[in-house]
Homo-oligomer: A and B are copies of this chain.
Amino acid sequence: MTEGQSPPDTALPTLEDVASRSGVSTATVSRCLNSPDRVSEETRKRVMAAVRDLGYAPNFGARTLAGKRTNTFGAIIPTMENAIFARGLQAFQEELHAHGVTLLVASSSYKPSVEEEQIRALVARGADALLLIGHDRTPESYAFLAKRQIPHLIAWAYDPALDRMSIGFDNRQAMKALALEVIDLGHRTIGFITAARDGNDRARGRYEGLCDAMRSRGLDPESLAIRETTYGIARGGEAFAELMALTPRPTAVVCGNDVLAVGAVKRAQQMGLRVPQDVSITGFDDIDIAEIVSPALTTVHVPHREMGRRAARALLDMRNGAGRGPNICLDATLKRRESLGPVPVA
């Protein structure tokens, strides 16, 4: 009945089409594709030819339905537009690809509700494991992950107080170290430009690290002039200008990331302020632009690539039944460059 010469152009070829065209059963075709050695050389050739002719590709849905591992991992990042994620993810994807798994990426625009959606979407599409960024997400997301027992790993963050599977670095500690450096250079009036801290534990951790440093040197965190803004070079510039209008004017502006810091540096120059002679500026992440801008940014170097690579390995292990994942803290090291100097003599 369904012996048609070739499938109508509107329908996708199925296993059955391949089978009838090569005169074997669907079971045999399936074997050809999955365990070629369990099929005779001759029939295999015939089947493969039919596969090519028909442009057959297995239906993934059916395949996973029939109960096989998908070899697909998912990753959900806040935004593709942030170089730190792009870099780490590229390494992550390369490592996975080397192990035969396909990576699917989705982005949440920093919205926990969207992230929850994406988690479900990826899992529903058969993701064997998930890479997530940071600790902040809806309780529903965590509940879902637990109930479905999805191997997952949190990257870009490490919180000693949390007992989660993660591979990241201690944002708070790293920022504290940097801030200590700033304070010990004599700065007392400090400004802080940060991304939104709500729903972003990395940003919050950095803020807390700064407060820690101030307290440990007898400064009151309350005296910190804060500007919270969205991601973007221009945004950093605007926030910087606001800070410079304050009295007393900060002698150092600590930024939550390099992008904001670069905006601050550029704006300073437009305002005729010399960096660091008139005002010091620091970044965080050590992405390319940190070194390109002049003066180059004093910042915190984060091993994005290594993080991606190791996250891939850990997730692969977990998927292979290695049990509970690791909780690894990578080193984020201080990078001294020119944008930070001693407080100007009044």
Binding site for B on A (CB under 8 A): 9-10, 12, 54-55, 57-65, 72, 79-81, 83, 85-87, 89-90, 93-94, 97, 102-107, 109, 114, 117-118, 120-121, 123-126, 143-144, 147-149, 233, 262, 266, 288-289, 292-294
Contact = CB atoms under 8 A, between A and B. Distances in A.
11 contacts: A12-B148, A59-B65, A60-B125, A61-B61, A61-B125, A80-B105, A102-B118, A104-B125, A125-B126, A289-B292, A293-B293
Contact of A60 (B89, B124, B144, B262): B124
Secondary structure call for the A interface: helix
Contact of A294 (B54, B93, B294): B294
Contacts of A123: 57
Q: Which 6 A-B pairs have the closest CB atoms?
A: A61-B61, A60-B124, A55-B147, A105-B105, A81-B90, A80-B86
Contacts of A9: 147, 149
A288 B149 CA distance: 41
| Residue picked from A12, A266, A289, most chain B C-beta under 10 Å | A289
Contacts of A125: 60-61, 72, 104, 125-126
A117 B62 CA distance: 18
Nearest to A102: B121
A83 to B, nearest CB: 7
Given A10-B149, A107-B93, A55 B118 contact: no
Nearest to A265: B292
Given A57-B148, A80-B87, A289-B292, 14 more contacts: A9-B147, A9-B149, A58-B124, A59-B65, A60-B61, A61-B62, A80-B86, A80-B105, A93-B107, A97-B109, A102-B118, A125-B125, A233-B292, A266-B292
B59 A124 contact: yes
Contacts of A120: 57
A234 to B, nearest CB: 10
A108 B90 CA distance: 10
| Residue picked from A54, A117, A125, A149, most chain B C-beta under 10 Å | A125
Contacts of A57: 120, 123-124, 144, 148
A91 B59 CA distance: 30
Contacts of A147: 9, 54-55
A125 B59 CA distance: 7
A65 to B, nearest CB: 5
Given A90-B79, A103-B106, A65 B55 contact: no
Nearest to A92: B80
A189 B81 CA distance: 37
B55 A148 contact: yes
